[in-house]
Structure 1
């Protein structure tokens, strides 16, 4: 198969607002439109003082407490807001290009953007091997159907 989409459900997702600082949870904060990772978390830049912390399922309470202890101005659990899909394969970029206006050729690994994908708001993470897409739960069925349709020409 040349395109593979796998859902990663129930990921911990925390929106964090900061007044100051260079790191969260021992991980250096990413620059604009980037993400960083370490210590079992990934941190996505969402705006000038806003970050999204991703981790494996069930870590909300532990990470919320740690973030507050580090002085975060606000921490909100948004884990139920989005589902996560990992898209890989030699034609993953081609499938995304069908519905996304972002120039994926010019987006290096570590890039992270909020954009529209087939009229659906997503957060797109560019990885060495494929992409991670965060899509609102209420659009998940539509997104999945659209992705399946756009992938048909790349499946033998």
Structure 2
């Protein structure tokens, strides 16, 4: 007796896979007569059609796979904009310190490399690092702190002369 169609119908009605459907061998005639979804549900309530339990820890593994830093879906553009904003701020700050001769060229180069490698989370984090390597950033006057170094150089393209024909 081929009951493959009944098994497929039962799996659809009971919302489990075909391999988890178990027919009791004593009542195969009743299963053969079942045509509708309602018949399958009645047979399930009577215990003629059973569902095999899940073995192992598949649910735990499925839950664990969802968690993790690689599965956090954030927009790449947003992360890049954050990075650009922070690096510009920090680079301006160390350029300002270099202009005031608070830091030397070697320290400046080292700091630029660290900023590019995202070693600092914020401007305060950078200041803490500078204090740690014994560079005094606290004694700058309030007026000096407010000024900003303009590091951008605008390139002006030469104007072309229009030829007359």
Length-normalised TM-score, structure 2:
0.24
State the structure with bigger RCO (CA 8 A, min sep 6), 1 or 2. 1
Length-normalised TM-score, structure 1:
0.26
Q: Larger strand proportion, structure 1 or 2?
A: 1
Q: Larger helix proportion, structure 1 or 2?
A: 2
Work out which of the two has the higher radius of gyration on C-alpha atoms and give 1 or 2: 2
